[in-house]
Every structure is written in structure tokens, then in C-alpha cells.
Amino acid sequence: MPIIYDETEKIFMLHTPNTTYAFAVVDDCYLAHVYYGKRLHDTGIRYLLREEEPPFVPSVNRREKNSFLDQAWMEYPESGMGDYRESAFCMRTADGFRGSELRFASYGIEAGKPRLAGLPATWGAEETCSTLNVYCTDARTGVEVCLAYSVFEDVDVVTRSVTVENRGNESVYLEKVLSACIDMENRDYEMVGLFGSWARERHVQRLSLGYGRQNISSFKGESSHQEHPFLALVTPETTQTTGEVYAMNFVYSGNFIAQAERSQFDSVRMTMGIHPEGFCWKLAPGEQFTAPEVVLTYSDEGLGKMTRTFHELYRTHLIRSPWLRRERPILINNWEATYFDFDEKKLIEIAKEASQLGIEMLVMDDGWFGNRNTDEGSLGDWEVNESKLAGGLACLVEDVKKFGMKFGIWFEPEMISPDSKLFRKHPDWAIQIPGRDITQSRAQYVLDLSRQEVVDRVYEMVAEILRNADISYVKWDMNRQLTTMGSAALPADRQGELYHRYMLGVYQLQERLLAEFPELLLENCSGGGARFDAGMLYYSPQIWCSDDTDAVERLAIQEGTAMVYPLSCMGAHVSACPNHIVGRNTSFETRGHVALAGTFGYELDVTKLSAEEKELIKEQTVFYHRYHALVAEGDYYRLLSAGETGGADSFLVVSKDKSRALLFYVQVLARANRKNRLLRLQGLSPEKMYRVCGKCYTGAVLMYAGLNIKLLQGDFKSLLWEIEEITE
């Protein structure tokens, strides 16, 4: 059984194929974490709670409840009652008092996995997934908290979410509702996170975990360029292939906090959930609040196994798009080719040339609507600018289709320009604090998507464009963070709900869009990669990875992204050189190799390329179709990190049956007087015989002895080698 409750030991055991997660009822009322790690086959582990040690449980030592609460491994810790470590739950009553005592009341086990209302979440069929619901109640207020745990029979993951229901007679105010907590013994853990900024998102950083609290967080209204809703604790010896890893990833796209805390008693508390900054949710009698889902995984085979677990979960239990396993059309986006300076003739010229090279879709980016000739206005006025597109959008789409190409379009539905018809008509629809200037960013404001009338109006404007033209793809952008948080539609005691209600509005918009246009290929974007998260993957099978398309810069960005998310999710394009952000010149071949590790497309003016570059595009498009399924669905093995080696970057994608693999290798900087590199591969079958570049090797030789990689001449050089099983 994947989930059991031992009535004698009063211990819950959740089993995945290779791991066990356990917690227990202590003193008939508290929930205490017991164990998370390699799979166990018995329940006799209650001794790990150390109940026989001081300060003992409160029913035994009635004078030291405070000490018990401040050192026990709590499954869902609360504030205000004596646990001074980071809490997961904080509630304020109508008369202003903070504190709660959530006591275990009951539990239930069900097949499958219920949806989280209005929220993205993993899903599982009754045959492959089970869910444990543990109910705890606060006697003073009548508030009930349901801790939900789901386990999957095909992947080593436990998911957690929390639902709070007010069954009392008075309103309460939720000031913190995190989604997951794990307490465990410290083992000199190090903390791994993903950090960066615009154009350099999700760089891997590893730090020692000292006493006190270290967190990764965002209260920008989005998961952000700067920090990412992922946290892993690793033992000091951990590499890609060895060591223990405890990891959390948040299925949410708004404010978050992920924190690790080492206590005075050398225990470690790991928490994740909605950031409490700016959050306060009024829960009236009879109302519920559901916190988003956290994905937990444990690996005893290093970061590589953790990565492959996340990839498999998201491919099989999160992404719903019909495009998940389809070959996605190779697109060309006109943004870096034209910026705002285009008309229908220029777009048709690009489409005609691109179609002859194997490119399959034209995407029209910003500048096609309202009076949008710069980024100073017209957001919110989603009407085609026919002075740019003579004959209208439908006419342009049909002209592009004549070349055998699909058509895609860019929107930024969440924003509104001060210089727009919509703002002049509805100035109160912008998020703002009365009496204060609205903080501008990129000359735009943010629409108040906590209001249903705003959501409905935005949806109808976007949907009307899609109804009137044959559009296959939408790039959904969001180019600024949230500030001056105030809603004209929320009462004073509900203003703290705006951040989360805004996010629910975004999710509703995308859910409605996919319901009406189920074949639509949706790609999310946020000024590049500021909202590349598991929440967005629930709606779109791919997300624009970063506005920085330079192949060398992309090595670190795509390495960090691929640590958690499948390659098939990463929007990656070949762009022009010198690169528009860093000014670097990189070979067309290397740009192609790096982009082929993602969804693949082009971001340049194809009409200005040389004959040689056009021939390379023909080769790259053929290569994409040949290897798409392998890159999209194969197992990912990180071999070298340019950030660590300074000289080379490499990874391998291996088919599930281990019959094929694709080796990506980039030499970042050439170095004098060096020998060739022996690169040890991973993930192959030791017994099988493989062909690489015309030579034959056993999998054992390739993995244990290594493949000889010759030094390449010049900086920013790359190779892409196919590895095939020899069967004859």
C-alpha cells in the first residue's frame, strides 16, 4: 500500500517506489515528522521521535510544553504558542490575538488526487496515485486545517498542500499559510538554490547552512528573475551522481518563500509556501482557503537523480497540453529582427524566406495593436493596428499560411498603459493605492485581476483576436513586477488578499483560454524568465527561458533551469550576432546547438543572413525533427558545468530504453597547452555496444573510462554527437 496508518504506532507511512515519508501523532494531538529517505518496509521507527528524552511530551512533563514545542520535529508548526523556529501557520482572531493549536482530529485516504480549486497542481489517476488527508482543528476558533499528501506509484515524489476552513462563528485572518515543512537532524547540509537577474536567470548557487535562517524568496508578485521557488538541502559530498538531496519546488507563480533554518539543537527546518509579506486573508465563517502545492523529492544518488525525478513528474503529472509530446513547430519571432518597426510586407518577407529553410511558424511580437510604435502606450487596447497591417490580422495570417506556415502572436494581457483608451475609461482598473502615485515600470501599470469584471474584459479582448484569425500559438508576456498594492474593489480588511487574488485571476484567464482553444500552443513569458515556474507549466508546455539569447550566457541559464524542468519546456532560439544584449559573436553552429537543447526557434531577420547561414538553418531544422523526441522525453544527465570548470559545458540526453543518446558539448574558452578531455558519460547500459562518430565502444567504457573529446580550435565552439546502440 502506498499510504498506511499504523494504529498501534500511530504513524503515517507514505511510500513511493524508492522512498518513504513518515510522520506520527504525538501525545494524541500533535503531528511530528519522523523520517524522509530511502524506502522502509516496517513501521517500527517511532523511536526516532526521542519521546523518552527531556523535555518529554506535555502530558508527561506538564511544566515544559514550551520546550517541547521549540525542539520537536513538527509536521506543520504554528506561531504564537512556543515554537520559536519558522512557523508554517499564523492566524489572527477578530479581537487581534495571534496563536493557534491545531490538534489532530481524523484522517482519510483516497485513490487519485483531487484538483486544487483555481490553482495549478500535479494530477494523478486513481490507479497510479493516492492521497492522504489529515484533519486538524483549533478548538478556540473552530478552524480546521487539512494537510493533503499525495504519492505516485511511478515517481519518487510526495506533494503537499493545505486547505483551511473556518467552521467557527467569527471571521479569522490568516497571516501565514505555508504549504510544506520538514524537520530533520542536521548533517552539515548545504543549500542549493537558483538566483540571478533579468537576462541571467536561474544560476546555480550552493552555500553552507549555518545557524539561523537562510531564505530564497520573492514578493514581487511573480516568482521572479532574481530568486526561484526551488530549494534543495544536500549533504557535503553531494555531486551529480552521489550524496543525499532533499528538494522542494513550488507549483505557484506569485510571491513565495523557501527557507532553511538550523536550530540551537542542530535540527534543520525546511519550509516553503506563499510569502507572508503583504499577505493577510480574511476567512469568514464557512469559507475556505487553499494554499498552493509543494513538490518534495528525496534522492540518494545526487542532484542528477533529483533532476530526472522532477522532469518525469512534470512530463507525466503536471503539463496537460496536447503539445507535450508533439513536435512543436519551429518558429521565427520578429522581435529582434524588427522591434516595433514592421508592417505586413516586412512580416510576409520574413515568412516567405523562412518557409524555404524549414521554419514552420511566424510569430508576430509586440507592436501590432493600438498605437503601439514604442513601449510608451496602448497596452490594454487589444485591437489590430490596420495602418501597420493593411487588410487586418486575418488577411496577414492567410498570406502567411500560403507559405505552409502557422501563425503566432504576442500579448501582454495583464498590463495597461497610462496612455491607452482602456485606462482613460477605467483608471480604477489599475492596481493602486488611493492618494499615491502609481509606480510605473516600463511605462505601464498592472491590471487588477482580482476583479472579475477586469478578468472578463481582458479575456474577451484576447479571445476575440483568436476567434477572428487562424492563430496557432500565443506568447503571453508580463513585463513588470507588482507595486503600490491596492484594489478599488476590495474592502480594507481584504487588501492583504490582492497578491494572491491577482495570481488566481491570471490562472483563470489562462484556464479559460485553453478551454476555448484547446489546440492552442501557449508559451508563457515574463520579461524573459521571471515566471518560469511549475505553476505556469500547468497551463503552457513551454516558457521563454530568458531574454538573453546569447549562446554562452544561455549555458548557465539553461543549466539551472534544466536542474528542475524538462528541456522540452525551455524556450530557446538562435538569434543574431553580435548578440543584442552582450554584443558577443558566436558561431551560427554553436548558437544552434545551444538552442536545440530547448524548444528551438529563431529570433533574427532571416532575410539578412548569408547563404552559408541559410544552409545551416536547413541543417538545423532537419536535425531538430530527427532528435526532437529524444531531447523532449529522454533522461537528462549533467556532465560538466561551465560555471564550475570555466572551460567547458556538457550534458547528455538518453532514451528510456538506453538505445540512443545525444551528447551536447561546448568549449567556452580555448586554452593553450592542454590535453584532450576524457569525458565520462552517464545513463547508458554498461553491457550494450554503442557507435559514436564511427567508432564502437561498450557502455561501460564510455561511462567508466570516458570518451575522448579533442580540444576545439577557438572560443565558443561546440559539438553535438549522436550515440547509437549497435544491434546487428
* Catalytic residue positions, numbered: 477, 547
Contact criterion met (CB below 8 Å) for 302 and 245: yes
Contact criterion met (CB below 8 Å) for 617 and 346: no
What secondary structure letter does DSSP report for 441? B
For 141, counting Cβ atoms within 10 Å of its Cβ (0-12 exposed, 13-18 middle, 19+ buried), the class is: buried
The runs of H, that is alpha helices, within 530-610 are 534-537, 551-562, 588-595
- Judged by DSSP in three states, 212 sits in strand
What is the rounded CA–CA span in Å between residue 179 and residue 161? 5
Query: What's the farthest any 2 CA atoms get from each other in the chain?
Result: 84
Amino acid at 469: A
Q: Are strands 601-603 and 635-640 parallel, antiparallel or unpaired?
A: unpaired
For 36, counting Cβ atoms within 10 Å of its Cβ (0-12 exposed, 13-18 middle, 19+ buried), the class is: buried
CA 289 to chain CA mean position, Å: 23
Residue 162, CB-side half-sphere exposure with 13 Å CA sphere: 24
Counting every residue written for the chain, the total comes to 728
For 692, counting Cβ atoms within 10 Å of its Cβ (0-12 exposed, 13-18 middle, 19+ buried), the class is: middle
What is the rounded CA–CA span in Å between residue 299 and residue 64? 37
- Judged by DSSP in three states, 461 sits in helix
Contact criterion met (CB below 8 Å) for 177 and 275: no
Contact criterion met (CB below 8 Å) for 362 and 351: yes
- C-alpha cell belonging to residue 456: 472578463
DSSP string, 28-87: TTEEEEEEEEE--S----GGGG-TTSTT--TTT-TT-HHHHHTTS-BSS-BSSSS--S--
- C-alpha cell belonging to residue 558: 539553461
- CA 627, 628, 632, 633 torsion: positive or negative? negative
For 53, counting Cβ atoms within 10 Å of its Cβ (0-12 exposed, 13-18 middle, 19+ buried), the class is: exposed
What is the rounded CA–CA span in Å between residue 314 and residue 492? 39
